[in-house]
Amino acid sequence: HVAAPPSPQVAVAICLLRDKRILMGRRLVSIGNSKYSLPSGHLEFGENFEECAIREIKEETGLDIGKIEFLKVTNNLFMDQPKPADYVVVFVRAVLTDPTQTPLNLEPEKCDGWDWYEWDNLPQPLFGPIKKMVMDGFNPFPQ
């Protein structure tokens, strides 16, 4: 019996925008450990991108989001990891249903905490994929 080879995985990453700021947190997991990134998670079977975004944000921050819009898809390879990974990442943007709601750190074993950052003053160091997108001129805010 031969183990099945690894497959690409699908993740949804959420640019949660509040006024001129975006929600980010410092990762505490193997890929991108200690780097700042967007809330994100794996697409579950039978779920669409919007449902995944709503669920992951709720699980990770307790926040309720709406106005979810597709932004971009990227293919991110992490081949030099101890456990290599191949992600197809769907980036969406969203806003808070209730703008007075504040983020909770509901998965403290995976994230150091959430905060709002201005796009021109993002926290450092950024997680590789989002860092590259920023350098390439990506901007999730409505123009």
> How many residues bind Mg ion, per CB under 5 A?
3
> Rounded CA gap, 27 and 136, in Å?
22
Q: Which two tokens stand for residue 111?
A: 């994230």
> Least distance to ligand 8DG from the beta carbon of 121, Å?
18
Q: Which does 130 bind (CB under 5 to 8 A by kind): ligand 8DG, Mg ion, none?
A: ligand 8DG
DSSP 64: -
Give the residue, chosen from 25, 32, 41, 103, that forms a contact with Mg ion under the rule CB under 5 A: 41
Instruction: Please say whether the beta carbons of 12 and 43 come within 8 A.
Output: yes
| Cα 143 to the center of its chain, rounded Å | 21
HSE, side-chain direction, 13 A CA sphere, residue 36: 19
DSSP 109: T
Instruction: Please say whether the beta carbons of 65 and 14 come within 8 A.
Output: yes
Q: Which does 89 bind (CB under 5 to 8 A by kind): Mg ion, ligand 8DG, none?
A: ligand 8DG
Closer residue to ligand 8DG (CB): 11 or 68: 11
> Rounded CA gap, 39 and 47, in Å?
17
Closer residue to ligand 8DG (CB): 18 or 131: 131
Closer residue to ligand 8DG (CB): 90 or 96: 90
Q: Which residues would be at the binding site for ligand 8DG (CB under 6 A)?
A: 11, 13, 29, 31, 37-38, 40-42, 76, 87, 89, 110, 127, 129-130
Q: Which does 132 bind (CB under 5 to 8 A by kind): Mg ion, ligand 8DG, none?
A: none
Contact residues for Mg ion, defined by CB under 5 A = 40-41, 56
